[in-house]
Structure formats: C-alpha cells, structure tokens
Amino acid sequence: MKNKVLVTGGAGFIGSHVCEMYLKEDYEVLCVDNLSSGKVDNICHLLADDRFTFVEADINDTTKMLAIFQSFRPTIINHHAAQKSVVSSIEDPMYDLDINLGGLLILLQCVQKFPIEKFIYVSSGGALSKVIEGTEKSKESDTPQLISPYAITKYAGEKYLDIYANTYGFDYTVLRYANVFGPRQIPDGECGVVPIFVTNILANKPSVLMTYPDMPKGCTRDYVYVGDVVEANRLVSEKAVNTVINIGTGDEIAILDIYNTILDVFEKDIAITIEGPRAGDVKRSVLANDRAKELTGWTNQVSLKEGLVALREAMLQQQA
C-alpha cells in the first residue's frame, strides 16, 4: 500500500473522483466532508473498500480535525473542501473567509502538530485570471484581478500554504483549476454551467446566459474534464512541484458555444435567453498550461465534446 491521504471535500464533485483515483493507486484514503454540498451517494461505492474511510466532519472544527490527524496520521493532504461560488462569496464574504481561508489555516495548524510530506491545495485559475488581452492566456506568474472575495481567499490560501510549507518543511502543489465539468457535478450557482444547461435541456426548459453587454456570446472560459483534473492530482501526489500550476486546456470558449455543443451532444434544440451582467464574473478566462506540462508532464487528454459525450454516457448509465 502507498501513502495515507486525507482528502477534504472528498464527497463533492471533484473530490469523489480524486478519492477513486487514490484507491485505484492503492493509497489508504480518509475522506472528510461536512456534506454541505457533497453527497454520500458520490462515495457510497467506495465504502466497502477497507482502504477507504469516510468521516462526516467540518474542517473548521479544530478539535475534530486534530483528533483525525492524530489517529490517521496522513502523509498527504489533498484539500478540496471549499465554498466554491463567486456569487455566494459576494453575498456572504464572512462565510467564504471562514471556510476557504479559516478552514485551510486549521488544516495547516494540524500539520504543524502532525507533520506531513505533501499538501495539495486546490485554487481557481478562472477566478485568479488577469485581464486577458488579445490572444494571451492567463499564466501563473500574472497579477490576478481579485474581483471577488472568493478570488481573494483562494489567492491568500496559496500564499499561506507557501509560508507554512517553507516554515514546517513539507512539499506542496497548488492546482489552479480551470472550469471543471463531468459526472456528479451538481447544477448549482454559477459554478455548474454545464450541469445547469444539461438539466434544463433534458427538461426541455430554456436556459439563461448571464453576460456583459460587450460579450454577446457570454463570458469566455476554459473547460477541463474532471478525468484530466484527477490525473493532475495523481501526478502531484507522486511528485510535488512546490509552486502553482494551472490545470486547464488553453482553449477559450464562449458560454454560448458551450451551450450549443451541449445541444449537439444531447441532440436537442432549445432557446437560451441572455441577461446580466453578474458581479464578480471575470470576462475572459483561459489558462496557459505550459508550466504543468513542463513540471509534471500533465496535458489535457479529453476535448470538450469528448467530455460531454462521457457525461451523457454516465448519466444514461445512472438512469439504467
């Protein structure tokens, strides 16, 4: 058996796929999740595996987290738990601060007492994008726009992690994800454009596209398939890079084009209405992925269309 890994937010959309990967790679996995947006359904197929443990707990509960660290003694922390919505972070910045920064600091406090080898922290390439001009792509070294509390807490988390890693002597990797899509993503808020559109399309309901007046096809984003994101987690669990890396495709796609590709894959034809703008949304986002390639060998393997076909197949399988 390989190392012991503590996955926070492991009952969520991305975290549950990450837990699956770790078991496939023969890690011992402890998943901590308070089920605020995650679901036991996402991990129930893993519960029979004696290398997998699920603890329903809040990462902001210091006493509980210290007890978990003391008994499990993880060597790797994979931190996916978060408040993930830009809009919610504007509506309730204290909650965002509490979970996204306070929660991280509690984990780092635990690490001080119970040393680890590697820490994987999930940040957001989209939210931390700079203002993109022309054909450029957002690089890790750019100065981020920081136009939402969510962007600020994720960015501050990256900086805290760097300080703690240097002070307490462990390796780390910050994975700045692009917009992730795939099976198990729930249609909530602005984070799940793909599942929101898919849910509406399957119910024959029109969708709403929130955008700025000068972006008639919608804001642009970089959509990366969850399987590719999981592979990035596998690589940095083997070998940390001690810096920030973007995990995105480098392809800039307008939201209206996403909608039309979904219509195509799901063989439907339903109208969309255009509204907006929505505070906190960056207009354009596309991530340069050269650093991830150079440091880890990671490249995205699944195109938007292939990912949507995989999503459709997973949904059909679930219904069967």
Query: 142 or 270: whose CB is closer to ligand NAD?
Result: 142
Q: What is the per-residue DSSP string for 34-69?
A: --SS--GGGTGGGTT-TTEEEEE--TT-HHHHHHHH
Mapping DSSP to helix (H, G, I), strand (E, B) and coil, where does residue 216 land? coil
Q: Least distance from C-beta 278 to ligand NAD, angstroms?
A: 16
- Residue (15 or 144) nearer to ligand NAD, CB: 15
- Give the nearest distance from C-beta 271 to ligand NAD in angstroms: 25
Look-up: residue for tokens 């796609």? 253
Cα separation, 222 vs 228, in Å, equals 13
Give the footprint of ligand NAD on this chain (CB under 6 A). 8-9, 11-15, 32-38, 58-60, 80-82, 84, 99, 103, 122, 124, 177, 179-180, 191
Nearer to ligand NAD, 66 or 270 (CB): 66
Q: Are 115 and 170 in contact (CB under 8 A)?
A: yes
Q: What angle do CA 184, 185, 191 make, to 5 degrees?
A: 170
Helix, strand, or coil here: 223? strand
* Closest distance of CB 175 from ligand NAD, Å: 8
Q: Is 135 exposed, middle or buried (0-12, 13-18, 19+ CB in 10 A)?
A: exposed
C-alpha dihedral over 96, 99, 100, 104, to 10 degrees? 160
Residue 236 Cβ, how far from ligand NAD at the closest point, in Å?
Answer: 14
Pick between residue 155 and residue 177 the one whose CB is nearest to ligand NAD. 177
- By C-beta, is 13 or 69 nearer to ligand NAD? 13
150 is catalytic: yes
Spatial separation of the C-alpha atoms in residues 159 and 162, rounded to whole Å: 5
Q: Of these residues, 22, 27, 121, 150, which one is catalytic?
A: 150
Structure tokens at 226: 């969850």
Least distance (Å) from ligand NAD to the CB of residue 191? 5
Kindly tell me which of 14 and 265 has the beta carbon lying closer to ligand NAD: 14
Cβ nearer to ligand NAD, comparing 15 with 116? 15
**Bridge-partner residues for 221, per DSSP?**
253
CB of 317 to ligand NAD, least distance (A): 20
Beta-strand runs (E) in the chain: 4-8, 28-33, 52-56, 76-79, 118-124, 171-177, 179-181, 207-210, 220-221, 223-225, 244-247, 253-254, 272-275
Q: Considering the complex, what minimum distance in angstroms separates the CB of residue 240 from ligand NAD?
A: 18
Nearest to 209 by CA among 257, 264, 150: 257
Active site (catalytic) residues? 150
